[in-house]
Amino acid sequence: MSEVEVYRISEFDKTKCYGFALKTRTEGKYPNEKYYSTNLVLYLGRHVKSERWGYGDSHGGAETFENNGIKHRIVYDYEGKTCFKVMYAEG
């Protein structure tokens, strides 16, 4: 499978549609890291809401997306591999 660049997005644009994949490789050093995935990018649709909870090592978060009335909730993983990709934007 080919490799695709994915991003650690924290602010989502409501006019864009997103996909999700866990990163499989990191290139470069912070703050100029680039993330790549050989995993299939799952189409999620438009961003609906963000959730955050806890603090320190006990913190977490999730993003909710909607596509044709179906909601997808992506919970961030502990290892920091959760990445997104803009699939398309409204013109």
Domain residue spans of the chain: 4-89
| Per-residue pLDDT at 21 | 97
3-class SS at 58? helix
Closest CA to 18 of 73, 65, 51: 65
CB within 8 A of 16, min separation 6: which ones?
A: 46, 47, 86, 87, 88, 89, 90
pTM equals 0.88
Per-residue pLDDT of the chain (91 residues; tens, 9 = 90+): 699 999 999 899 999 999 999 999 999 999 999 999 999 999 999 999 999 999 887 889 999 999 999 999 999 998 999 999 999 876 5
Measure the CA–CA gap between 27 and 17, rounded to whole angstroms: 25
In this prediction, residue 60 carries a pLDDT of 92
Among 50, 48, 46, which residue's Cα sits nearest to residue 16? 46
